[in-house]
Chain A
Amino acid sequence: MFDPDSPLIVTNGVPSVYGNFNRHLFMNLSRREFLRILGFAGAAGLLPGLASATGASSDLYDFGRFGDIRLLHITDTHAQLMPIYYREPSMNLGLGQAFGRPPHLVTEAFLKYYGITPGTPLAHAFTAINYAEAAQRFGKVGGFAHLKTLVDRMRGDFGSDKTLLLDGGDTWQGSGTAFWNRGMDMVEACNLLGVDVMTGHWEFTYLEEEVRKNLAAFKGDFVAQNIKTKEVAMFEGAQAYDENTGHTFRPYVMKTLGKHRVAVVGQAFPYTPIANPSRFIPDWTFGINSSDMQALVDNIRAKEKPDAVVLISHNGMDVDVKLASVVSGIDVIFGGHTHDGVAQPFVVKNAKGRTLVTNAGSNGKFLGVIDLKLGDGGVKEFRYKLLPVFANELPEHQGMQALVNKIRAPYLEKLQMPLATAGSLLYRRGNFDGPFDQIICDALRQRNDAQISLSPGFRWGTTILPGQTITMEHVLDQTCMTYPETYARDMTGQQIKDILEDVADNLFNLDPFYQQGGDMVRTGGLSYRIDPTATMGKRIDNMRLEDGKPVEASKQYRVAGWATVGSKSPGEPVWDTVAAYLKDKKTVEIKKLHTPELKNVGSNPGIDLS
């Protein structure tokens, strides 16, 4: 464990660790990193324009090696087997203690915090600055064949027997192919990629028997300390990994790397049965369960005498930062869920030491790499990089590309079906709205003849550049899930306000343990004002229809939406709604985002409206 008594020094906004961590290493690294990236950009001629950077790519991925073990981390790949574009947010508000703290930094504020030079590939990977232009220059990111090349290289450079590949989950959902194969295609891809340990969230939007079938085919270990089989269900014969503790799955697994032993604990998304339908997995109960986590970590430390304890978590970054402060004994939390590309671990102090908290982005865009020096039952020093997977810089792995092609072949015609042309940049991620959500909201209203539409603030969904053809695959990237059915029904103004308030509290509650990690529900035909700093029930006002008329509490409105959690909706899958709408349109251009009027967030470094 980290030494609790060594002071935590914050230099230039970047937490740096003294004492048992090697201060020089940490400081020099970022400087060296800086030089490397400059070299990369300069040598390749990438600053002035698009050029082949093949000769220089070795710089970006030349990690060297350090310490005793290397842990690799992917998370929230959302079944994106092919390279894609993914724009990081320009609105990711942090309030209270999270104000200006990772991951609530966007664009220039992000670059400044981490000392990343504007205009470089790293600046593009981590921020939305000049997105469309930079994306054309640096190309697509991710793709399992490119990711596989990078993973193999990171393992080979270090010595494969001393490395692990961890997957934080949200792997089996997010593409048409994953939906049609009920996640099994992603199990095959992860087996070939070499995932050693994983946990989950959207995995549980398949049926329990499908989850179990997929896990039986998965060659790695699936871990989750916070999923338990309900007692009543166990009474009826439901399965559990451990009937005494109620754990549905193995809570942790011990891995031997060279002469070191590492405990890998799992934390699934704690609010799965609330944020997603519980009807698919009725026998399981979730939760953050922080006191169980402490007991488990204490038990592992006493019983297994590990050299390190790490957690793969689907809590979301803010929840992980709080968890790291109330639970001690975890060396590193490899986080996901909130899709934050966080350049360096955030260091959290707790009762007995300190814990590093990372978050490794989404959609296969990044690979987290940490090298750890171990000794005396704990981590002594670390070196971390969140590597962007630039598809142009990493050749395809032949075997993986063959598998991906095989998975896609039966569906290729449907996936590649052209629907319309993007007249402007289309993406989803952002606290309040994204242009692609606006398309979904417009499509829902038009096809259902509704005054208002609502669309969930998911954080998955890829980005489409201006001029690109929008294909069915893009629509599925934004919508594909196991409860896509649409609805149109009457709701009172009060009911609509209650929904907005409820979701706003999930996003902006000052206590991260009460947050669910999504973004604000998107609205069509409805504008409103929000004060994120207010308390539950008091954030939203000034709700108006498209024609400017105020929404009245007791009046009924026709509302269309999709992805209902409580019970299955009667309408067509939302991808059919959106595809039909796009075909009619031919070219779609979103000139202005429907961002609500914001109150009390003026100087927040998590906002860039430029």
Chain B
Amino acid sequence: MGISRRNFCKTVAGSAASVAVLAMMPGNLMAKWSDKAFTANDLAAAIAAKYGSLPIEDSTAIEIKAPEIAENGAFVPVTVSSTIPGVTSISIFTPANFSPLVASFDVLPRMKPDVSLRIRMAKTANLVVIAQAGGKLYRVTREVKVTIGGCGG
């Protein structure tokens, strides 16, 4: 079977967000902009490097779709969406990394704040998602467990 129509459409649609993000990252300019945030070595510093000192509140209006226990740590599907009005940025951090910022998405006014990515996880860790709307940051945390597996049932 070749590419089904559904898959083709879905792939194209799914790329929209990442294409938009990439389009916003022309070479050197982008590297400069994200350098500090992507190399900060603890969570608070990474958030501060990315967003400055904006106030943060925990939110139930951000949904992280990710497995509670990863089937394969090398390939963990994560989807983040938000119903907070006026979201302009979504970033995914994990404090377990030497550099906690994993990915950051700029959300343009006509984009739906709904992004998907695959991440690689060596061990159990929290995902911390920050969404920016107006002058405020919203946060949600979710643990993804990576297990040795195999002794249940």
Residue positions of A touching B, CB distance < 8 A: 201-202, 231, 234-237, 243-244, 271, 273-276, 278, 285-288, 291, 454, 456-460, 498-499, 502-503, 505-506, 511, 513-514, 516-518, 521, 536, 563-566
Q: Which residues of B contact A244 (CB under 8 A)?
A: 6
Q: Nearest residue in A to B150 (C-beta to C-beta)?
A: A565
Q: Is B112 at the interface (CB under 8 A from chain A)?
A: no
CA distance A218 to B7 in the complex (A): 30
- Select the stretch in B27-35, B67-75, B84-92, B126-134 that faces chain A: B67-75
Given A274-B71, A278-B71, A286-B71, A516 and B152 contact (CB-CB distance below 8 Å)? yes
Residue positions of B touching A, CB distance < 8 A: 1, 3-4, 6-7, 10, 63, 65, 67-72, 124, 143, 145, 147-153
Contact status B151-A235, CB under 8 Å: no
CA distance A459 to B152 in the complex (A): 9
Q: Which residues of B contact A506 (CB under 8 A)?
A: 147, 151-152
Q: Nearest residue in A to B124 (C-beta to C-beta)?
A: A536
The main secondary structure of chain B at its interface with chain A is loop
Q: Which residues of A contact B145 (CB under 8 A)?
A: 505, 514
Contact status B68-A513, CB under 8 Å: yes
CA distance A201 to B153 in the complex (A): 9
CA distance A516 to B153 in the complex (A): 7
Contact status B150-A275, CB under 8 Å: yes
Q: Which residues of B contact A202 (CB under 8 A)?
A: 153
Given A231-B7, A456-B153, A498 and B71 contact (CB-CB distance below 8 Å)? no
* Given A235-B4, A517-B152, A536-B124; 18 other pairs, CB 8 A cutoff: A243-B6, A243-B7, A274-B152, A276-B153, A278-B71, A291-B63, A456-B153, A498-B148, A502-B151, A503-B148, A503-B151, A503-B152, A505-B147, A514-B145, A516-B147, A518-B153, A564-B150, A565-B150
Q: Which one of B1, B10, B153 has the greatest number of beta carbons of chain A within 10 Å?
A: B153
User: A287 → chain B, closest Cβ, in Å?
Assistant: 5
11 of the cross-chain contacts (CB-CB < 8 Å) are A201-B153, A274-B152, A276-B150, A276-B153, A287-B71, A457-B152, A459-B153, A503-B151, A517-B152, A518-B151, A518-B153
Q: Nearest residue in A to B1 (C-beta to C-beta)?
A: A237
Q: Which one of B63, B68, B151 has the greatest number of beta carbons of chain A within 10 Å?
A: B151
Contact status A243-B4, CB under 8 Å: yes
Q: Which residues of A contact B3 (CB under 8 A)?
A: 235
User: A392 → chain B, closest Cβ, in Å?
Assistant: 31
Contact status B148-A502, CB under 8 Å: yes
Q: Which residues of A contact B151 (CB under 8 A)?
A: 275, 454, 456-457, 499, 502-503, 506, 518, 521, 563
Q: Which residues of B contact A278 (CB under 8 A)?
A: 71-72
Contact status A273-B153, CB under 8 Å: no
